[in-house]
Amino acid sequence: MNTIPASEELLGAGPLLRTRAYLNGTWTDAADGAAFDVFNPATGEVVATVADLGRDDVRRAIGAAHDAWPAFRDCTAKDRASLLKRWNALILEHKEELARIMTLECGKVLTESRGEVDYGAAFIEWFAEEARRTYGDVIPANTKDKRIVVIRQSIGVVATITPWNFPLAMITRKVGPALAAGSPVLIKPPTETPLTALAVAYLAEQAGFPPGVVNVITTSRNAEVGLELCENPLVRKLSFTGSTATGKLLMRQCASNLKKISLELGGNAPFIVFEDADVDAAVKGAMASKFRNSGQTCVCVNRLYVHDRVYDEFIDKFSKAVSALRVGNGLDEGTQVGPLISEKGLAKVKRHLDDALAKGAKVLVGGQALEGLYFRPTVLTDATADMLIAQDEVFGPVAPVFRFRDEREVIELANATPYGLASYFYSRDIARCWRVAEALDYGMVGINDGMISTEVAPFGGIKESGIGREGSKYGIDYFTELKYLCFGGIS
């Protein structure tokens, strides 16, 4: 079962290439011997065959994590910070191998995979620092004979369910704060990208995390494993990144034991270019945000609103930049747009395009699928609000452009969605910048900036884009419980 991938030599990943799950400090197969294949979306080839854990395996893993909790919780914050710092250093030391594994299993271009290693490691570094600042409070008491103190304690075993579009950073953004606060973690990576998760778990083992503290559950039996993670009362917190539909299902399942839950879900990001914008800067921001990971991020621009007065200039510059993008295998240096993750992802992009064309949109650039899972970067004009592409995230390299004439009108259009994750706008008028930033119904607003993700700021959405925030000084709050201590009888 423990297949050595055909492409190991190419990768040069050595011991980082793991195909067994990592439970309680042991590299392990599924109890029933099941396994599943991992594919390279750039070529369709099988990269590796990985242990396919079932519900009983997961139950045992949860038990082991729970047993590891007291000792890990009770070690000093400084000790936990040291473990995290060692892990961070090892991840950065192995940046190239990790980036190649990531590209191989998710198709992301190599420069972006390298960037994701840095981005992902930054969460571990940040929370190593935050570990030592989980302060409590002393509250002036309501009577003379009392003293009131609030402490923050580890929440207990944390389960994370992470997506394929950021195989490394969405793990570290969740487990960084959990581990910093003293919680063992169960990482359930997606079926598409388990290898990056296993590689970072190997580095966690090398960093010295005790058995049971970091666990990776590889599986294709997502429904039964998800149910166990939600319903098992020993798991005290579930943190999920993925689609809104799955987030709602997990929330319903977690309701059975009122498990604490953080959800980072879908978006439908508007990108507004006002008539006073620096158009060149807006084109640069739109390119960075729209085509990152071939358009497969929750914060990718989904709808471009351009003011009538700068419409022609923007369209001309944007379409030239999009035409120049190089599409290909992410392992080839110089590729800028890789494949989509799956046939399902490709079919969604085609569905959105067909719907837009049927409702009057025009293709200015691209507009076709290429061989395999590739889609040519596309610009659509004459987009309207009734199109599927205006209502739902396309999750692919298609940019629909809408024309607008009035600030109030565009804010209404931008907010007319159940989602509320990221939004962007470009303007040089400071009063407008404040006004629009406050009026946009989103958890995050990029003002004259198309790349807003960083470990130092709170990432998360409102409305149907989720619950909670990740990263920043706020991120660790979601992995601790407040406890109020009341000391009586003090004379």
Please report, as ranges, the residues that interact with ligand SIN according to CB under 6 A.
165-166, 241, 264, 297-299, 453, 459
Residue 184, classed as helix, strand or coil, is coil
Select 212 or 461, whichever has its Cβ closest to ligand SIN.
461
Select 40 or 453, whichever has its Cβ closest to ligand SIN.
453
Select 393 or 407, whichever has its Cβ closest to ligand SIN.
393
Distance CA 240, CA 478 (A): 12
Closest separation between CB of residue 15 and ligand SIN, Å?
Answer: 28
Closest residue to ligand SIN: CB criterion: 453
Describe the chain by its helix, strand, coil percentages, rounded to 5: 40, 20, 35
- Which of 264, 393, 455, 464 does the annotation list as catalytic? 264
Distance CA 456, CA 460 (A): 13
Do 30 and 52 touch, CB atoms closer than 8 A? yes
- Which of 106, 230, 254, 298 does the annotation list as catalytic? 298
Is residue 333 part of the annotated active site? The answer reads no
Residue 336, classed as helix, strand or coil, is coil
Contacts 24+ apart (CB under 8 A), 170-175: 170/241, 170/264, 171/120, 171/196, 171/197, 171/200, 172/91, 172/120, 172/121, 172/123, 172/124, 172/200, 173/120, 173/123, 173/455, 173/459, 173/470, 173/471, 173/475, 174/239, 174/241, 174/262, 174/470, 175/214
Select 69 or 459, whichever has its Cβ closest to ligand SIN.
459
Select 163 or 367, whichever has its Cβ closest to ligand SIN.
163
**Residue 419 DSSP symbol:** E
Checking DSSP bridges between strand 466-467 and strand 260-264, what pairing results, if any?
A: antiparallel
Select 244 or 453, whichever has its Cβ closest to ligand SIN.
453
Name beta bridge partners: 237: 158, 260
Do 461 and 442 touch, CB atoms closer than 8 A? yes
Closest separation between CB of residue 453 and ligand SIN, Å?
Answer: 3
Closest separation between CB of residue 292 and ligand SIN, Å?
Answer: 8
Select 166 or 291, whichever has its Cβ closest to ligand SIN.
166
Is residue 298 part of the annotated active site? The answer reads yes
Closest separation between CB of residue 127 and ligand SIN, Å?
Answer: 15
Distance CA 353, CA 452 (A): 27
Do 383 and 303 touch, CB atoms closer than 8 A? yes
What type of residue sits at position 480?
Answer: T
**Residue 12 DSSP symbol:** T
Both tokens of residue 61? 């893993």
Closest separation between CB of residue 348 and ligand SIN, Å?
Answer: 15
- Annotated active-site positions, please? 264, 298
